[in-house]
Amino acid sequence: MRNLNLRQKIGQLIIVRTTGYIFDHQIRYPAWEATQSQLKKWLEELNLGGIILLGGSCAEIAYRTQQLQSWAKTPLFIAADIEEGVGQRFTGASWFPPPMAFSKIAENNPLLATKYAQKMGNITAKEALAIGINWILAPITDVNNNPDNPVINVRAFGDNPQVVGDLAEAFIDGCQSYPILTTAKHFPGHGDTSTDSHLDLPKITHNLQRLQEVELLPFQQAINKGVDSVMTAHLLVETLDANNPATLSYGILTELLRSKMGFEGLIVTDALIMGGIAKYSCGEEIAVKAIQAGADILLMPENPEIAVNSIEKAIHDGILSEARIDESLTRIKKAKAKLFNHNRETLSMDVICTPKDISIVNEILVQSLSKGGNLPLKATNQGINLVVVHDLLNCDFLDRQTPAVAIPETYGYQTQLFDHRNLHLAPYQHQPILLQAFIRGNPFLGNGGLTESTKIFYQKLLESDSLKGIIIYGSPYILQWFLPRLKPETPWIFNYGQMSAAQKLSCQDLFNLSTNYDIQKGDFL
């Protein structure tokens, strides 16, 4: 990174998003994901610091990351939101249940939960590096103590600050076996909000003592453990700064995080195209104010050229200094030196989703599962397997051969798939029904999973004689709503995970199947 001009220096402070798929026609989010020609232009002219990827298989990502690095003048950060393992975003790799599953295990066995969190970090780092990802945007270090939180929810390690800190620390420890970057997010704590910062700016009104005892404690543990980066939250934390979102607050990023908490690594903003910050000001001002506040990396500005131009102009106008850019560049150089050491081991695709890794995922699923009622569910004639998801167009964990579909069908429950927005159209009067609800808080939904209209439907179903069994995949807060309304004899299963492994385990427990059940053949081995 020697002899960079000012614009090239500024470019190193910016990460843009693109698709993990190979071709432009596969782009799923055109407003967010750069095309091939855009990327080449930006890498050539702006010397961008990195890329964040979403979508594709492990094989595609392995090719894609090599392609992107070959286009870059300066070695790239290649990041991904892989909070639940590489398989959460890129098919073929290990996919863990959401972090809140680990706090369930910690209730009875804290040491076992810590061991599993460490294993998850280790496996995630190993698999990420094998496909060319060098920056893990995890662990979530928020304390989710608000059941109505629409955006953090099960992504957090729980509602106990010490447990969250211990599990986040264990995840970081597991990653540290490999030359890869980790991220504690979202500073100074996004767990106690009922607003999704993807849509609007949440406000936190707690006093300083409360923030120190709850929100900040896990971040301090992560810093002490040597986390490489901290991601900002698009929040207005009134006690710390009544005027600026945390992402744009000098008092929060520099005075608190850097000076008081002693963090020396990279400060990266959350995505700058999110509504919580984009509604606050224009892109030009946001880019400049984030750097003034103390951010080193601007993640996903709406237009990187505008961001570079605005920062360059601010330097010429005396609002920012080139020395301030050099401070961040020094931290970036240090981080990249860790990643691109020529003596580091190259990992092959053979390390992805090994039998040992699969076993670890299954153990975590088993240890965190809950169940009750009169199990098992009996076979029936002409039953309905009512499967409810949030968004049929963006449901990547179901197909005709997944266990949630295949296993119930062998017991007489034929699948009917519904988007939660059209749930009022689903039948429930006459035929025996198995309800499988995939419900968890997700970004952009604006709620924690249940809407008033879906509650009405579920209440009627729960009061009917048609409901014979229920499986809930995702949020324990949803389970807490269902249980008081569920007839005591109705068999139920709760699983934090939504992926195929979680479905298989849940259906096996519901129907009392042998673990040797062959889904493809629809019979026991």
pLDDT per position as a tens digit, 349-396: 999 999 999 999 999 999 999 999 999 999 999 999 999 998 887 788
Look at residue 126 and tell me whether its pLDDT is greater than 70.
yes
pLDDT at 433: 96
The band of 524, judged by pLDDT with boundaries at 50, 70 and 90, is: very low
Q: How large is the average pLDDT for residues 180-202? A: 89
Identify the pLDDT of residue 313.
Answer: 98
Lowest mean pLDDT among 71-85, 123-137, 165-179, 502-516: 502-516
**pLDDT of the residue at 519:** 40
Q: Which of 252, 245, 283 is nearest to 267 (CA)?
A: 252
Tokens of 18: 């693109």
pLDDT of residue 448: 54
> What one-character-per-residue DSSP string does 341-386 give?
-TTSPPPPGGGTT-HHHHHHHHHHHHHH-EEESSPSPPP-SSEEEE
In the predicted model, is pLDDT for residue 283 greater than 90? Answer: no
Confidence of residue 518 (pLDDT cuts 50, 70, 90): very low
Supply the mean pLDDT for the chain.
Answer: 92
Q: Which helix (H) or strand (E) element contains residue 429? A: none
Average pLDDT over residues 217-242: 97
Band (pLDDT 50/70/90 cuts) for residue 214 is very high
Residues 454-485 pLDDT 10s:
899 999 999 999 999 999 999 999 999 999 99
CA 55 to chain centroid: 13
Find out whether the peptide bond into 186 is cis, omega within 30 degrees of 0: yes
* Coil vs helix vs strand at 88: helix
DSSP string, 263-332: --SEEEPSPTTSHHHHTTS-HHHHHHHHHHHT-SBEES-S-HHHHHHHHHHHHHTTSS-HHHHHHHHHHH
Tell me which of 75-79, 151-155, 157-161 is least confident: 151-155
| DSSP H/E element including 444 | none
pTM of the model: 0.94
Is 270 among the residues known to form the active site? Answer: yes
Mean pLDDT value across residues 213-229: 98
523 has a pLDDT exceeding 50: no
Nearest-5° Cα angle at 138, 442 to 329? 125
| Set 166, 192, 228, 270: catalytic member | 270
CB-based contact 44:73 (threshold 8 Å): yes
Label residue 282 by pLDDT band (50, 70, 90): confident
The secondary structure of 135-200 as a DSSP string is EE---B------TT-SSSGGGSS-S-HHHHHHHHHHHHHHHTTSS-B-EEEEET--SS-SS-TTTS
The more confidently predicted of residues 3 and 72 is 72
Comparing 241-250, 400-409, 449-458, 481-490, the range with the smallest average pLDDT is 449-458
The two three-digit tokens of residue 513, written as one number:
């199947």
Instruction: Grade residue 521 by pLDDT with cuts at 50, 70 and 90.
Output: very low
Q: Tell me what pLDDT residue 398 has.
A: 86
Helix (H) or strand (E) holding 104: helix 100-108
Provide the 10 A C-beta neighbour count for residue 115. 17
What is the amino acid identity at position 38? Q
Please give, one letter per residue, the 3-state secondary structure of 224-241.
Answer: HHCCCEEEECCCEECCCC
Q: Which helix (H) or strand (E) holds 436?
A: strand 433-439
**Full set of structural domains in the chain with CATH:** 6-94+120-341 (3.20.20.300), 369-524 (3.40.50.10870)
The residue annotated as part of the active site, out of 190, 198, 234, 420, is 198
Give the length of the chain. Answer: 525
